[in-house]
Chain A
Amino acid sequence: GAVVSQHPSRVICKSGTSVKIECRSLDFQATTMFWYRQFPKQSLMLMATSNEGSKATYEQGVEKDKFLINHASLTLSTLTVTSAHPEDSSFYICSAPMAEKLFFGSGTQLSVL
């Protein structure tokens, strides 16, 4: 299957700092990528849809100024958590579609102290 690379896999940061998470499609182009968040023992919730060359579309309740998304090329989307707070601690995972299927990165565990 297609490969989606996500970095870093784990990050610990201080409250108030910003963290950037990268999501790359390695062997295919993705004009659209999806960012999900998963709290412990819960399901994946869609945060936003990243669109190459245009603004991201955010789900209701997701602060666009806090979760900055940039889709700079056909293979790279980034999610920046700005001014992180402990309540932002979560598992973040990206996915990219290829035909009818979606392939996922390995996820990023963010811990904000």
Chain B
Amino acid sequence: AQKITQTQPGMFVQEKEAVTLDCTYDTSDPSYGLFWYKQPSSGEMIFLIYQGSYDQQNATEGRYSLNFQKARKSANLVISASQLGDSAMYFCAMREAPNSGNTPLVFGKGTRLSVIA
């Protein structure tokens, strides 16, 4: 069964506008972490934001915020004030028992974001 689902293969957004990238997840482990990574054409995986399953507040990192709705098992990424440099592939990922040290990340299929001038 798919553990991470990203339903938007591609998204377009106007420069300076906000955009939401969807992510839903599936786990029975009460302890998990949710991640968003940006992958530009160079291939590197750039860490954007992290949300722990026990965190009470939604995570924010500059222009990035994570809309964490635990009951709905969703972890959408919101990018505010989009910039041309935000054009890239975005991956949602989950890590079960994140503090155990030896569990990997499981990735969604990704969403390609294109920012239009």
- Chain A positions within 8 Å of B, measured between CB atoms, are 1, 31-32, 34, 38, 42-46, 49, 51, 91, 93, 95, 97, 99-104, 106-107, 109
Contact = CB atoms under 8 A, between A and B. Distances in A.
Nearest to B105: A102
Contacts, number: 62
A43 B33 CA distance: 19
Contacts of B108: 43
Interface of B: 33, 35, 37, 42-45, 47, 50, 52, 91, 95, 98-99, 101-102, 104-110
Nearest to B42: A106
Contacts of B52: 100
A109 B104 contact: no
Nearest to B45: A104
13 contacts: A34-B104, A49-B104, A97-B101, A100-B50, A100-B98, A101-B50, A102-B47, A102-B105, A104-B45, A104-B47, A106-B43, A107-B45, A109-B43
Nearest to B46: A104
A43 B107 contact: yes
Contacts of B95: 100, 102
Query: Chain A at the B interface: mostly helix, strand, loop or mixed?
Result: strand
A51 B91 CA distance: 25
Contacts of A91: 43
B59 to A, nearest CB: 12
Nearest to B32: A100
Contact of A101 (B47, B107, B110): B47
Contact of A49 (B33, B43, B102, B106): B102
Contacts of A34: 104-105
